[in-house]
Structure 1
Amino acid sequence: MSIQESLALPITTFNELMVFDEYIEPQGPIIDDVRHAITQANICRNSPNMKIEGIKKIKASDHRMIKDKVFKSQEEMKKQAEIRRQNQLNAIMSKLPPDQAARVKQKIKTGVNNGSK
């Protein structure tokens, strides 16, 4: 669509297109992922090597590559950052000798950081 065509549109149509372009269309990869998951599940179901019990257990959701929730809230992002920080801390602590690890844990509990509170 050219600039002249977009300027000639009624404002309601322009706003609808803007909402579609900004908020709905980015969900396109999710729709493609669902389509591919269904196709993959059907391919597995049509395999001559599958038994009936295996065919009944196959779900399209097992073949999804994108999680259901794409847009995360601020709380979810904070929770993920805290989990990531805790995992990093656990990785560092696992490399320390037990006596040093105990001292570091004690300092973390008391809130001491680099010798100051």
Structure 2
Amino acid sequence: MLRRGLSNDEIQQMSVMMYYELWFFDSFIEPQGPVYNDFYQARLVHTIEANNPNLTKEYRKKLNMKDHLLIKDSVFKSQEEIEKEKEQQELKRKKAVESMFDPALLDKVRLKQQKKVNNG
């Protein structure tokens, strides 16, 4: 807020609502705000990494600019979006755990579970 030319006295005299409106604008909406700057830096790092001649095509396809963001997108998400993300993370975690086991062993476990459900 001080970059707009507001002095410390002016900030002290303004209402609390006005202060938070200005803070919100400075933090999340203004183009020179931290979110915009973070987006710029993430895009720069992503571009540099994507142009690295030592990377394979598979790795380049996996590159995602969101991996380089420091400020995450959880600020404006609804509860449903947050729950969906948690479910996706849980699904990824389960797949990672299953990938550690032999596929034949996992098939046996699934067959036993299906038999229990059908008999139960």
With normalisation by structure 2, the TM-score equals 0.45
Higher relative contact order (CA 8 A, sep 6+): 1
**Which is higher, the Rg of structure 1 or of structure 2?**
1
With normalisation by structure 1, the TM-score equals 0.45
